[in-house]
Amino acid sequence: MDLTNYRTLGKSGLRVSPLTLGTMTFGEEWGWGSSAEDSKAILKSYMQQGGNIIDTANFYTKGHSEKIIGDYLKESGTRRDSMVLSTKFFGNLYPGDPNAGGTSRKNIVNSLENSLRRLRTDYIDLYWMHAFDEFTPIDETMSALNDLVRSGKLRYIAVSDTPAWKVAQAQMLAKFRGWAGFIGLQTEYSLLERTSEGELIPMAQEMGLGVMPWSPLKQGILTGKYNRENNGQRLSWRHAAPDLPEATFVIIDRLKVLAEEKQEAVSAIALAWILAKPGIASIVIGARTMAQLSQNLQSLNVTLTEADINYLDEVSEPILNFPIPFMRAAYHNGMGGVTINGKSSVVPSLLPRHIDEVY
């Protein structure tokens, strides 16, 4: 597999690379990113290898991330239509202005105009609602986004970091009003953060959204650079190493076993595990350096067997919120010991074992 093994995003015809280039590290305004020149070199390498989707947001490095991308595409003479530009609205860049953030019609329009200016384009391919705004009715948000799709300034819309119930509400509202609906869902997902498997990922599969995980390496923890000996020491260019629990090192240990068996980087195994999961369309990878980009791209060469996946699943099993644990137990109550779509059930002791036992 490589970056040209494109996948359609959700219930749409939009083709995207299996690894999306995330650009939160483009720009040094936050004190830990890449210079504009280094960022452009990373962009060039990703695109030369067939990568076609770049993900940013209006507030990344105070808007500089978008500007770096727009400048590079112009300077390099890249054909605009060959790239999928993905950016987000929600973040407030103007302190003290209550209308400069969130998901209101006013902010969506203003944020989009500023993003178009910085990206030096007249349309966005994939526009994300970056987070749930409790103060704005979802029908206002969806109506505004639909108007912008109809105007041609947006090609597709998607949603990030929002409860499953709100996304489902938005999708059904759009469906019944004939509006453009979301085609993608961004959520944190990794071997160290699997709670999205409870409701968000199943909801996305049911509602036609392709899942695009972010923080797939959990801020570098799953690269293998942290171990029991250096736990809590400052290793990162960004922050001190976290004080990690033993359960995390058990997962890292298993990643290292597979990495050694397959002669691959630990991070490549962690990313390959995500790519093998149901519903995943593309993973947002970050890269502050060329070396990090190359290491992340190695994941496309990794093939994990079912046994490999189960080996990692076993030690990373998440604790999910109600009603998921209840549903897993109740499943057997309703299935009567039969197998449906390849999933088997048993007859619980509370239920009759034979028809003669029924009153």
Instruction: Please confirm, yes or no, whether 60 is among the known catalytic residues.
Output: yes
Q: Verify cis geometry, omega within 30 degrees of 0, for the bond prior to 323.
A: yes
Residue 52 C-alpha from the chain's centroid: 16
Cα–Cα distance, 91 to 148 (Å, whole number): 19
Which one, of 47, 279, 51, lies nearest residue 183 by Cα? 279
Handedness of CA 327, 331, 332, 336 (dihedral sign): positive
Q: Verify cis geometry, omega within 30 degrees of 0, for the bond prior to 202.
A: no
DSSP, res 280: B
> Within a 10 A sphere around the Cβ of 351, how many other Cβ atoms?
14
Euclidean distance between the first and the last CA atom of the chain, given in angstroms as a whole number: 58
CB 107 within 8 A of CB 93: no
Catalytic residue among 60, 72, 156, 226: 60
Cα–Cα distance, 96 to 59 (Å, whole number): 16
Burial of 217 (0-12, 13-18, 19+ CB in 10 A): buried
Catalytic center residues? 60
